[in-house]
Amino acid sequence: MSAINDLPATTQARMLASGELSARELLDATLDRVAELNPTLNAVVSIDEESARAAAAAADEAHAAGRSLGPLHGLPLAVKDLHATAGMRTTFGSPAFEDNVPDADELVVARMRAAGAIVFGKTNVPEFGAGSHTFNPVFGLTRNPYAPDRSAGGSSGGAAAALAAGLTSLADGSDMGGSLRNPASFCNVVGHRPSPGRVPAWPSKDAWFTLGVQGPMGRTVTDTALLLSVQAGPDERAPLSLPEPGSVFATGLPTRLDGLRIAVSPDLDGRVPVDAEVAAIVEAQVDVLRGLGAEVVSGCPDLTGAEEVFQTFRALYYAQGVGDLIDAEPGKVKQAIHWNVAKGRALTGADVATANRLRTELFHRVRAYFSTVDAVVLPASQALPFDAGLEYPKSVGGSEVEDYLHWMRAAYLISATECPATAVPAGFTGEGLPVGVQVVTAHRADLRALGIAHALEKAGGHTARRPG
């Protein structure tokens, strides 16, 4: 396999900018790798080779003419199949949208194209993004590049698997209950859940929704920050969008953590069961952090109420977004989503009011907590990559899993806080399965989360271990 596919996107970008590599050459290498590995992994779907080759040719012509180049100039990119792409199928993993071809890109895709990315296909997702295991009736199951009999995670599972296997240079994703973080942990790549408003979403059925966010994934933290620098920035159509330009994420990231105080908890202070090997790898970060100059303490924010906040607003989201489809074509939507919609429709005004109160109280407790520490390091996923033939793991850390969401609590309890979190590779089990940790920082402190994750990445060196 050509080593060029496994290089960091930042290295590829420098080679493209210098003329050492052309956009056509990189796309050829990418499509060759897709042809070789995607039949096994099923990470990339709806490939449009013709339009990608035309875009790569235009990119090379722009370079030859000396025109200004975007930060993603010539980099092949596969877009998550939950995000609308003009002229390219966007199915949401659902038979109801199997032939859906949008007329326009949604904002995050438009920004990536404008920055010079070569969009050549989509990455596979669970149906309507429900669950952290990637399978659907349209395209089937995505497998883990490190162990094809195991799950790649989800809902950005196709994105994570594609990155790990070198099928794409960068990948976008989204995260409500851990969909950028769980698959990053399973596939030994990096996923950043931004603060709400950091990456504005347009169009959106609910412009005030903060539980779910869009964000970047990469093989390294610097790759992930590069993509965030393009995705982030204000948009007047998104009322919660943050004012800082995305360019703030294009700066250098630290390799030392001197003067920082960082908490570590392998089980969120006993709130969640965790696989023993995951817990051991989280604990091992204590020595790594101290070696980087940080003061390390044990602990985690008080997450009281986070469960109810997440469950309430997630249920409302699915009732609003998929409820009408279930009414019209119930047989085209999987049972897990029927369950979510039913939960949303059963909520009362009092239930939502309570969840809003709990969310406010949670926000202020967490805000106060981050006045005492700079970050907290937690498992990105409670579980190891599990049997790909299962819908979800039946037990984690010796505890029975109640439903398809329950094993994702280490991620989704953090979603309820609205804090940014960067999942970064942290080690491998005895079987060679990847394990990541998430670096959680105060509300809107995205750059700090990425910086701490970068220092951990450089100290651990785990991102260098590619599949195969």
The whole-angstrom separation of Cα 358 and Cα 412 is: 15
155 as an active site residue: the answer is yes
Contact 219, 163 (CB under 8 A): yes
**Pairwise CA distance, residues 118 & 78, whole Å:** 8
The residue among 48, 38, 120, 131 whose CA lies nearest residue 93 is 131
Catalytic residue among 46, 80, 122, 156: 80
Q: Tokens 């794409």 map to which residue?
A: 168
Rounded to an integer, what distance in angstroms lies between the CA atom of residue 94 and that of residue 131?
14
CB 180 within 8 A of CB 417: no
Phi (first) and psi of residue 352, to 5 degrees: -70, -40
DSSP annotation of 355:
H
Rounded Cα gap, residues 142 and 159, in angstroms = 10
Quick check: 426 and 284 in contact, CB under 8 A? yes
Q: Is 399 a catalytic residue?
A: no
Which helix or strand (DSSP H or E) is residue 346 part of? Answer: helix 335-346
Tokens found for residue 355: 């969840």
**Sign of the dihedral through C-alpha 92, 218, 85, 29:** negative
Q: Is the CA virtual torsion 317, 320, 213, 171 positive or negative? A: positive
For residue 415, indicate whether it is catalytic. no
Report the C-alpha gap between 422 and 181 in whole angstroms.
7
**For the chain, how far is it from start to end, CA to CA, in angstroms?**
10
- Of 94, 132, 174, 179, the catalytic one is 179
| Residue 231 CA to its chain's centroid (Å) | 13
Given the residues 22, 46, 155, 415, the one annotated as active site: 155
DSSP string, 224-282: HHHHHHHH-S--TTSTT--SS-GGGGGS---S--TT-EEEE-SSTTTTS---HHHHHHH
Q: Could you give the CA distance from residue 372 to residue 385 in angstroms, rounded to a whole number?
A: 34
* Structure tokens that stand for 416 in this block: 């309820």
Say if CB 23 and CB 60 are below 8 A apart: yes
Amino acid at 321: G
Contacts of 287 (CB under 8 A, 6+ apart): none
The residues annotated as belonging to the active site are 80, 155, 179
